[in-house]
Amino acid sequence: MTPTGGVLAERGRVRRRRGWSRSSPRPCGGAGWSPWLCLTPALVVLGGLLVYPIYQLGLISVFRYTQAQVSGGEPTAFVGLGNYADVFSDDQFWSVLLATVGFAAACVVSTLAVGCALAVLLTRVRAVPRLALMLAALGAWATPAVTGSTVWLFLFDPDFGPVDRVLGLGDHSWTYGRYSAFFLVLLEVVWCSFPFVMVTVYAGIRAVPSEVLEAAALDGASQWRIWRSVLAPMLRPILMVVTIQSVIWDFKIFTQIYVMTGGGGIAGQNLVLNVYAYQQAFASSQYGLGAAIGVVTLLVLLAVTLVYLRLLRRQGEEL
């Protein structure tokens, strides 16, 4: 074999060890700026859809921006952190923030519990019931938030809704009390959110080797023990993704609260941060104040997500 042939043969062996050949496409990565060049289209889209609106939100939050400035009757005035000072000095903001955190936490826990339970159920039923459950769940997932909220309001309507009649509650109004209204909205949120968790976790369970589950069953482990000791640790990356997504979705809920409680409930008893920001910005024409509440909401979401990722990293999970 010639020296050139030996070099080519060695290159072929290296390619086979690395899992690619001359005919297979080479990865876009590499040293230097190559990875960033590959990410440029996605970064441009994210910059237009995410970075620029956040920049505008932060910019408006440091100005006095009311209807007078929008109509051109008065010039905008820079107030610095004045809007934030007004937000943090408002007692209602702190009560709304506490209600938002509690309501979002309840929605996340309930959604994960229902979604994971139904994902396990999908692995236990036959093909026809599995298909029916998947179609029903996807139908709930595809339903617009306004439509779903209106349907749930009808179901729990004190005059015409079937729920009160079935439960024998007479003309009980679910949206009158603070906690009952939050509970009603929670049911609707879980109903339209659990399909994402169910489908994602079900896909993860199907990827788990069947030998592992059979070995656990042969050792006498119950279904709950199999989930807690076998499936949950193996599905931790997937559970991390669905948890973060649920936190983001449930913390910034607007449509369900606004539609089902009539804009925040009686005397604002069911306000959450997004509805509170909407009221300040559009109902009161305090756009700078509403933008400041939006920035605070964004920072709270980032803080919650970072804390959750930090806890996972301390547990040894690769992120």
Kindly report, residue by residue over 251-281, the tens digit of the pLDDT.
989 999 999 998 888 888 999 999 999 998 8
- Mean pLDDT for the stretch of residues 61-87: 86
Q: What percentage of the chain has pLDDT greater than the value 70?
A: 88
113: pLDDT strictly greater than 80:
yes
Instruction: Answer yes or no: is pLDDT of 25 > 80.
Output: no
Collapsing DSSP to helix, strand or coil, 224 comes out as: helix
CB 114 within 8 A of CB 122: no
More confident residue, 135 or 210: 135
3-state DSSP assignment of residue 63? strand
Give me the residue label for tokens 């936490």: 105
Judged against a pLDDT cut of 70, whether residue 309 lies above it is answered with yes
Residue the block writes with tokens 């009808």: 154
* pLDDT for residue 96 is more than 90: yes
Residue 5's pLDDT is 46
Burial readout 264-295 (b: 16 or more C-beta within 10 A, e: otherwise): bbeebbbbbbbbbbbbbbeeeebbbbbbbbbb
> 164: pLDDT confidence band, cut at 50, 70 and 90?
confident
Residue 2 has pLDDT above 90, yes or no: no
Confidence band (pLDDT; 50, 70, 90) for 198?
very high
Average pLDDT over residues 237-242: 87
> What tens digit of pLDDT does each residue of 180-189 get?
999 999 999 9
Would you place residue 319 in the very low, low, confident or very high pLDDT band (cuts 50, 70, 90)? low
Looking at per-residue pLDDT, the higher value among 300 and 221 belongs to 300
- Per the model's pLDDT, the better-predicted residue between 189 and 20 turns out to be 189
Q: Is the pLDDT of residue 227 over 60?
A: yes
The per-residue pLDDT for 93 is 93
pLDDT for res 28: 53
Kindly indicate the confidence band of residue 316, based on its pLDDT and cuts at 50, 70 and 90.
low
| Least confident piece of the model among 25-29, 104-108, 206-210 | 25-29
- Report, as an integer, the average pLDDT of 114-127: 91
Torsion angle of alpha carbons 145, 137, 158, 272, nearest 10°?
Answer: -40
Structure tokens at 216: 């656990």
User: What is the pLDDT, as a whole number, of residue 226?
Assistant: 83
Compute the distance between CA of residue 242 and CA of residue 111 in angstroms, rounded to an integer. 10
Task: Count Cβ atoms within 10 A of the Cβ of residue 140 and give its class: 0-12 exposed, 13-18 middle, 19 or more buried.
Answer: middle
The residue ranking higher by pLDDT, 273 or 170, is 273
What are the residue ranges of helices labelled H in the chain?
A: 3-18, 34-46, 52-61, 67-70, 82-88, 91-122, 127-142, 145-155, 162-167, 178-207, 210-218, 223-226, 232-234, 236-251, 255-260, 273-278, 287-314
* 275: nearest Cα among 140, 142, 147, 100: 100
Residue 46 has pLDDT above 50, yes or no: yes
Whether the CB-CB separation of 268 and 278 falls below 8 Å is answered with: no
User: What pLDDT score does 7 carry?
Assistant: 40
Q: What is the mean pLDDT of the chain?
A: 84
Q: Which position has the token pair 């339970």? A: 117
Greater confidence (213 vs 7) lies with 213
